[in-house]
Protein backbone atom coordinates (compact mmCIF):
# COMPACT_ATOMS: atom_id res chain seq x y z
CA UNK A 1 0.00 0.00 0.00
CA UNK A 2 1.29 3.47 -0.93
CA UNK A 3 2.22 5.72 2.01
CA UNK A 4 -0.41 8.22 3.05
CA UNK A 5 -0.51 11.58 4.81
CA UNK A 6 -3.00 14.02 6.23
CA UNK A 7 -4.31 16.75 3.94
CA UNK A 8 -7.27 19.10 3.76
CA UNK A 9 -9.94 17.64 1.50
CA UNK A 10 -13.36 18.82 0.32
CA UNK A 11 -16.47 16.73 0.81
CA UNK A 12 -18.09 16.10 -2.59
CA UNK A 13 -15.05 17.77 -4.24
CA UNK A 14 -16.53 21.30 -4.07
CA UNK A 15 -18.61 23.17 -1.52
CA UNK A 16 -18.77 25.78 1.27
CA UNK A 17 -16.14 26.25 3.95
CA UNK A 18 -17.91 23.69 6.13
CA UNK A 19 -17.11 21.01 3.54
CA UNK A 20 -13.40 21.16 4.40
CA UNK A 21 -11.94 18.37 6.53
CA UNK A 22 -8.64 16.59 7.23
CA UNK A 23 -8.35 13.39 5.21
CA UNK A 24 -5.74 11.09 6.78
CA UNK A 25 -5.74 8.75 3.78
CA UNK A 26 -4.40 11.19 1.19
CA UNK A 27 -1.58 9.67 -0.92
CA UNK A 28 1.78 11.17 -0.03
CA UNK A 29 3.46 12.81 -3.06
CA UNK A 30 6.70 11.54 -4.54
CA UNK A 31 9.42 13.75 -6.00
CA UNK A 32 9.86 13.92 -9.76
CA UNK A 33 13.11 15.11 -11.33
CA UNK A 34 14.04 18.53 -9.98
CA UNK A 35 11.56 18.38 -7.10
CA UNK A 36 11.85 18.30 -3.33
CA UNK A 37 9.48 16.77 -0.81
CA UNK A 38 8.86 19.37 1.89
CA UNK A 39 7.34 18.57 5.28
CA UNK A 40 5.05 21.56 5.81
CA UNK A 41 5.05 23.64 8.98
CA UNK A 42 2.60 26.36 7.88
CA UNK A 43 0.63 27.45 4.83
CA UNK A 44 -1.02 30.68 3.74
CA UNK A 45 -4.60 31.23 2.61
CA UNK A 46 -5.40 33.06 -0.63
CA UNK A 47 -8.58 34.16 -2.40
CA UNK A 48 -8.01 31.59 -5.11
CA UNK A 49 -8.37 28.87 -2.45
CA UNK A 50 -11.96 29.98 -1.79
CA UNK A 51 -12.77 30.03 -5.49
CA UNK A 52 -11.14 26.64 -6.06
CA UNK A 53 -13.03 25.16 -3.12
CA UNK A 54 -16.27 26.31 -4.75
CA UNK A 55 -15.27 24.98 -8.17
CA UNK A 56 -14.85 28.42 -9.76
CA UNK A 57 -11.08 28.53 -10.28
CA UNK A 58 -9.27 27.26 -13.42
CA UNK A 59 -6.75 24.96 -11.75
CA UNK A 60 -3.56 24.31 -13.77
CA UNK A 61 -3.34 20.75 -15.11
CA UNK A 62 -0.15 20.02 -13.13
CA UNK A 63 -1.76 21.02 -9.80
CA UNK A 64 -2.89 18.35 -7.33
CA UNK A 65 -6.46 18.40 -6.06
CA UNK A 66 -5.36 19.63 -2.63
CA UNK A 67 -5.71 23.38 -2.08
CA UNK A 68 -2.90 25.79 -1.26
CA UNK A 69 0.01 27.40 -3.12
CA UNK A 70 2.34 28.85 -0.45
CA UNK A 71 4.01 27.21 2.51
CA UNK A 72 7.02 26.90 4.79
CA UNK A 73 8.70 23.76 6.05
CA UNK A 74 11.75 21.49 5.93
CA UNK A 75 13.08 19.43 3.04
CA UNK A 76 12.55 15.74 3.71
CA UNK A 77 13.98 14.38 0.46
CA UNK A 78 15.19 15.47 -2.98
CA UNK A 79 14.48 13.97 -6.38
CA UNK A 80 17.09 13.57 -9.08
CA UNK A 81 18.29 16.59 -10.99
CA UNK A 82 17.99 19.21 -8.23
CA UNK A 83 20.59 21.92 -8.91
CA UNK A 84 19.52 24.78 -6.67
CA UNK A 85 21.80 24.14 -3.70
CA UNK A 86 19.24 22.61 -1.36
CA UNK A 87 19.83 19.66 0.94
CA UNK A 88 17.75 17.44 3.20
CA UNK A 89 16.85 19.26 6.42
CA UNK A 90 16.97 22.77 4.96
CA UNK A 91 14.35 25.18 6.23
CA UNK A 92 12.54 26.60 3.21
CA UNK A 93 9.49 28.46 2.01
CA UNK A 94 8.04 28.62 -1.44
CA UNK A 95 5.33 28.64 -4.06
CA UNK A 96 3.61 25.66 -5.66
CA UNK A 97 0.89 24.97 -8.21
CA UNK A 98 -1.16 23.44 -5.40
CA UNK A 99 -1.04 20.94 -2.56
CA UNK A 100 0.08 23.15 0.35
CA UNK A 101 -2.85 22.27 2.65
CA UNK A 102 -1.08 19.03 3.56
CA UNK A 103 1.65 17.46 5.66
CA UNK A 104 3.91 17.04 2.62
CA UNK A 105 4.24 18.67 -0.77
CA UNK A 106 6.26 17.96 -3.92
CA UNK A 107 7.62 21.20 -5.37
CA UNK A 108 10.15 22.25 -7.99
CA UNK A 109 13.27 23.49 -6.20
CA UNK A 110 13.28 26.53 -8.54
CA UNK A 111 10.33 27.75 -6.48
CA UNK A 112 11.94 27.30 -3.05
CA UNK A 113 13.92 29.79 -0.98
CA UNK A 114 15.99 29.24 2.12
CA UNK A 115 14.02 30.52 5.11
CA UNK A 116 16.04 33.20 6.88
CA UNK A 117 16.20 32.97 10.65
CA UNK A 118 14.50 36.32 11.13
CA UNK A 119 11.26 34.99 9.62
CA UNK A 120 8.98 32.72 11.64
CA UNK A 121 7.37 29.71 9.97
CA UNK A 122 4.09 31.63 9.94
CA UNK A 123 5.57 34.76 8.39
CA UNK A 124 7.47 32.82 5.74
CA UNK A 125 4.39 30.85 4.73
CA UNK A 126 2.56 34.06 3.85
CA UNK A 127 5.28 35.66 1.74
CA UNK A 128 5.59 33.86 -1.64
CA UNK A 129 2.21 34.22 -3.36
CA UNK A 130 1.62 37.69 -1.96
CA UNK A 131 4.90 39.38 -2.82
CA UNK A 132 5.44 37.55 -6.11
CA UNK A 133 1.93 38.42 -7.31
CA UNK A 134 2.39 42.08 -6.38
CA UNK A 135 5.76 42.21 -8.15
CA UNK A 136 4.41 40.57 -11.28
CA UNK A 137 1.33 42.79 -11.46
CA UNK A 138 3.22 46.00 -10.82
CA UNK A 139 6.38 45.51 -12.85
CA UNK A 140 5.93 42.79 -15.48
CA UNK A 141 2.32 43.51 -16.45
CA UNK A 142 1.77 47.09 -15.28
CA UNK A 143 5.21 48.24 -16.47
CA UNK A 144 5.76 50.42 -13.41
CA UNK A 145 8.71 52.82 -13.42
CA UNK A 146 9.77 55.46 -10.94
CA UNK A 147 7.49 58.50 -10.92
CA UNK A 148 4.33 56.73 -12.06
CA UNK A 149 1.16 56.81 -9.98
CA UNK A 150 -0.65 53.63 -8.97
CA UNK A 151 -3.97 52.48 -7.52
CA UNK A 152 -4.24 49.30 -5.48
CA UNK A 153 -7.81 48.10 -5.01
CA UNK A 154 -8.56 46.00 -1.91
CA UNK A 155 -5.89 48.04 -0.17
CA UNK A 156 -5.74 45.95 3.02
CA UNK A 157 -5.51 42.64 1.15
CA UNK A 158 -2.19 40.83 1.40
CA UNK A 159 -1.19 41.46 -2.22
CA UNK A 160 -1.98 45.16 -1.99
CA UNK A 161 -0.19 45.47 1.36
CA UNK A 162 2.91 44.19 -0.43
CA UNK A 163 2.18 46.32 -3.48
CA UNK A 164 1.84 49.57 -1.54
CA UNK A 165 5.24 48.97 0.04
CA UNK A 166 6.82 48.06 -3.30
CA UNK A 167 5.31 51.20 -4.84
CA UNK A 168 6.72 53.40 -2.10
CA UNK A 169 10.22 51.94 -2.35
CA UNK A 170 10.00 52.06 -6.15
CA UNK A 171 9.38 55.79 -6.16
CA UNK A 172 5.71 56.06 -7.10
CA UNK A 173 4.53 59.66 -7.39
CA UNK A 174 1.17 58.83 -5.77
CA UNK A 175 -0.20 55.64 -4.24
CA UNK A 176 -3.97 55.34 -3.91
CA UNK A 177 -6.05 52.57 -2.40
CA UNK A 178 -9.67 51.57 -2.05
CA UNK A 179 -11.01 49.68 0.94
CA UNK A 180 -14.30 48.99 2.69
CA UNK A 181 -13.69 50.72 6.02
CA UNK A 182 -11.95 53.78 7.43
CA UNK A 183 -9.90 51.49 9.65
CA UNK A 184 -8.44 49.78 6.59
CA UNK A 185 -7.83 53.09 4.83
CA UNK A 186 -6.02 54.47 7.89
CA UNK A 187 -3.92 51.32 8.00
CA UNK A 188 -2.91 51.72 4.34
CA UNK A 189 -2.08 55.41 4.71
CA UNK A 190 -0.61 55.58 8.20
CA UNK A 191 1.08 52.17 8.45
CA UNK A 192 2.08 51.52 4.83
CA UNK A 193 2.53 54.97 3.37
CA UNK A 194 -0.22 55.21 0.76
CA UNK A 195 -0.99 58.75 -0.40
CA UNK A 196 -4.74 58.48 0.18
CA UNK A 197 -7.53 55.94 0.37
CA UNK A 198 -11.21 55.91 -0.53
CA UNK A 199 -14.09 53.91 0.91
CA UNK A 200 -15.84 52.11 -1.93
CA UNK A 201 -18.93 51.68 0.26
CA UNK A 202 -19.46 55.38 0.95
CA UNK A 203 -17.54 57.23 -1.78
CA UNK A 204 -17.37 57.38 -5.56
CA UNK A 205 -13.73 56.34 -5.57
CA UNK A 206 -13.09 57.03 -9.24
CA UNK A 207 -14.38 60.60 -8.97
CA UNK A 208 -12.38 61.18 -5.80
CA UNK A 209 -9.16 59.94 -7.39
CA UNK A 210 -9.72 62.12 -10.43
CA UNK A 211 -10.12 65.10 -8.08
CA UNK A 212 -6.95 64.14 -6.21
CA UNK A 213 -4.99 63.97 -9.47
CA UNK A 214 -6.41 67.15 -11.02
CA UNK A 215 -8.24 65.05 -13.58
CA UNK A 216 -5.16 63.20 -14.81
CA UNK A 217 -5.98 59.84 -13.25
CA UNK A 218 -3.48 57.14 -12.37
CA UNK A 219 -0.92 55.41 -14.55
CA UNK A 220 -1.45 51.89 -13.21
CA UNK A 221 -4.55 50.25 -11.70
CA UNK A 222 -4.28 46.86 -9.96
CA UNK A 223 -7.73 45.29 -9.66
CA UNK A 224 -9.11 42.11 -8.11
CA UNK A 225 -12.81 42.99 -8.32
CA UNK A 226 -13.69 42.81 -12.01
CA UNK A 227 -17.24 43.56 -13.10
CA UNK A 228 -18.19 46.22 -10.56
CA UNK A 229 -14.96 48.19 -11.01
CA UNK A 230 -14.50 47.92 -14.77
CA UNK A 231 -16.09 51.26 -15.64
CA UNK A 232 -14.46 53.04 -12.73
CA UNK A 233 -11.06 51.68 -13.73
CA UNK A 234 -11.50 52.98 -17.29
CA UNK A 235 -12.58 56.37 -15.95
CA UNK A 236 -9.70 56.71 -13.50
CA UNK A 237 -6.89 55.45 -15.75
CA UNK A 238 -4.56 58.14 -17.09
CA UNK A 239 -3.62 58.48 -20.73
CA UNK A 240 -1.52 55.46 -21.75
CA UNK A 241 -2.57 53.89 -18.46
CA UNK A 242 -2.38 50.21 -17.60
CA UNK A 243 -5.17 48.26 -15.90
CA UNK A 244 -4.04 44.92 -14.48
CA UNK A 245 -6.89 42.52 -13.67
CA UNK A 246 -5.90 39.79 -11.21
CA UNK A 247 -9.38 38.63 -10.23
CA UNK A 248 -13.10 39.06 -10.63
CA UNK A 249 -14.58 38.89 -7.14
CA UNK A 250 -17.72 40.70 -8.31
CA UNK A 251 -18.13 38.64 -11.48
CA UNK A 252 -16.88 38.56 -15.06
CA UNK A 253 -19.89 39.71 -17.09
CA UNK A 254 -20.08 43.46 -17.58
CA UNK A 255 -23.39 45.25 -16.98
CA UNK A 256 -25.23 46.99 -19.77
CA UNK A 257 -24.16 50.56 -20.39
CA UNK A 258 -20.43 50.14 -19.83
CA UNK A 259 -18.69 52.83 -21.88
CA UNK A 260 -15.42 51.59 -23.39
CA UNK A 261 -14.74 54.96 -25.00
CA UNK A 262 -11.85 55.68 -22.61
CA UNK A 263 -10.00 52.65 -24.00
CA UNK A 264 -9.49 54.49 -27.27
CA UNK A 265 -9.51 58.07 -26.08
CA UNK A 266 -6.85 57.47 -23.45
CA UNK A 267 -5.02 54.57 -25.14
CA UNK A 268 -5.57 52.34 -22.12
CA UNK A 269 -4.23 48.80 -22.02
CA UNK A 270 -6.24 46.27 -20.00
CA UNK A 271 -4.49 42.99 -19.27
CA UNK A 272 -5.48 40.02 -17.18
CA UNK A 273 -2.97 37.77 -15.49
CA UNK A 274 -2.84 34.61 -13.41
CA UNK A 275 0.48 33.78 -11.78
CA UNK A 276 -0.56 30.21 -11.07
CA UNK A 277 -0.92 29.35 -14.76
CA UNK A 278 2.64 30.48 -15.59
CA UNK A 279 5.38 27.95 -16.27
CA UNK A 280 8.11 27.15 -13.75
CA UNK A 281 10.73 29.23 -15.59
CA UNK A 282 8.56 32.37 -15.43
CA UNK A 283 7.72 31.79 -11.79
CA UNK A 284 11.37 31.08 -11.07
CA UNK A 285 12.39 34.52 -12.31
CA UNK A 286 9.91 36.08 -9.91
CA UNK A 287 11.18 33.85 -7.12
CA UNK A 288 14.66 35.27 -7.76
CA UNK A 289 13.24 38.78 -7.40
CA UNK A 290 11.62 37.79 -4.11
CA UNK A 291 14.99 36.57 -2.85
CA UNK A 292 16.29 40.13 -3.32
CA UNK A 293 13.63 41.36 -0.85
CA UNK A 294 14.75 39.18 2.07
CA UNK A 295 17.21 41.68 3.52
CA UNK A 296 14.49 44.34 3.45
CA UNK A 297 12.22 42.14 5.52
CA UNK A 298 15.03 41.83 8.05
CA UNK A 299 15.85 45.53 8.31
CA UNK A 300 12.20 46.54 8.52
CA UNK A 301 11.98 48.30 5.15
CA UNK A 302 9.31 45.82 4.14
CA UNK A 303 6.79 44.82 6.79
CA UNK A 304 4.93 41.52 6.94
CA UNK A 305 1.42 41.53 8.35
CA UNK A 306 -0.05 38.28 9.65
CA UNK A 307 -3.64 38.92 10.72
CA UNK A 308 -4.47 35.52 12.19
CA UNK A 309 -2.74 32.21 12.85
CA UNK A 310 -4.88 29.11 13.31
CA UNK A 311 -4.07 25.41 13.63
CA UNK A 312 -5.07 23.61 10.44
CA UNK A 313 -7.70 21.71 12.41
CA UNK A 314 -9.58 25.03 12.27
CA UNK A 315 -9.44 25.30 8.47
CA UNK A 316 -13.21 25.85 8.29
CA UNK A 317 -12.91 28.86 10.60
CA UNK A 318 -9.93 30.14 8.60
CA UNK A 319 -11.87 30.08 5.31
CA UNK A 320 -14.91 31.67 6.93
CA UNK A 321 -12.69 34.44 8.31
CA UNK A 322 -11.31 35.18 4.85
CA UNK A 323 -14.84 35.26 3.44
CA UNK A 324 -15.75 38.04 5.90
CA UNK A 325 -13.23 40.44 4.30
CA UNK A 326 -12.29 41.91 7.67
CA UNK A 327 -8.65 40.84 7.87
CA UNK A 328 -5.62 43.06 7.29
CA UNK A 329 -2.82 40.82 6.10
CA UNK A 330 -2.37 37.08 5.89
CA UNK A 331 -4.36 34.27 7.44
CA UNK A 332 -2.01 31.40 8.19
CA UNK A 333 -2.59 27.81 9.24
CA UNK A 334 -0.02 25.73 11.10
CA UNK A 335 0.49 21.98 11.05
CA UNK A 336 1.70 20.16 14.14
Question: pLDDT tens across 27-67, in order?
Answer: 999 999 999 999 999 999 999 999 999 998 888 888 899 99
Contact between residue 101 and residue 315 where contact means Cβ atoms under 8 Å apart: yes
Q: Is the pLDDT of residue 138 over 70?
A: yes
Element (H, E) at 94: strand 91-95
Long-range Cβ contact pairs of 307-315 (< 8 A, separation 24 or more): 307/331, 308/332, 309/42, 309/122, 309/333, 309/334, 310/334, 311/335, 311/336, 312/8, 312/22, 312/43, 312/101, 313/22, 315/8, 315/20, 315/22, 315/101
Q: What angle do CA 28, 34, 37 make, to 5 degrees?
A: 30
- What's the sign of the alpha-carbon dihedral 160, 120, 106, 50? negative
Which part of the chain has CATH 3.90.180.10? 4-127+276-334
Contact between residue 179 and residue 248 where contact means Cβ atoms under 8 Å apart: no
Which part of the chain has CATH 3.40.50.720? 131-272
Task: Name the band, by pLDDT with cuts 50, 70 and 90, for residue 2.
Answer: low
Entry pTM = 0.90
Q: Is the pLDDT of residue 181 over 70?
A: yes
Q: Which CATH architecture has domain 4-127+276-334?
A: Alpha-Beta Complex (3.90)
Helix, coil or strand: residue 74: strand
**179-189 mean pLDDT:** 96
Q: What percent of the chain has pLDDT over 70?
A: 99
Q: Is the pLDDT of residue 1 over 50?
A: no
Four-way CATH pick for 131-272: 2.60.120.10, 3.30.499.10, 3.40.50.720, 3.30.300.20? 3.40.50.720
Amino acid sequence: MAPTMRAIDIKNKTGPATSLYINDQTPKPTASSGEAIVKIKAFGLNRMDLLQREGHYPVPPQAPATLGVEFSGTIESLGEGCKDGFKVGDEVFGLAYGGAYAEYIAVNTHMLLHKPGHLSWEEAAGVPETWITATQAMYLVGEFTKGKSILWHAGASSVSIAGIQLSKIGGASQIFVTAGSQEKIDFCVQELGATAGFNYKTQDWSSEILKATDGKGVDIVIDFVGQDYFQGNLDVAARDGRIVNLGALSGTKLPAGVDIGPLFRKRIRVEGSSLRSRDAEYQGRLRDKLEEYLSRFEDGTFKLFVDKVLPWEKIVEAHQLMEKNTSKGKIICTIS
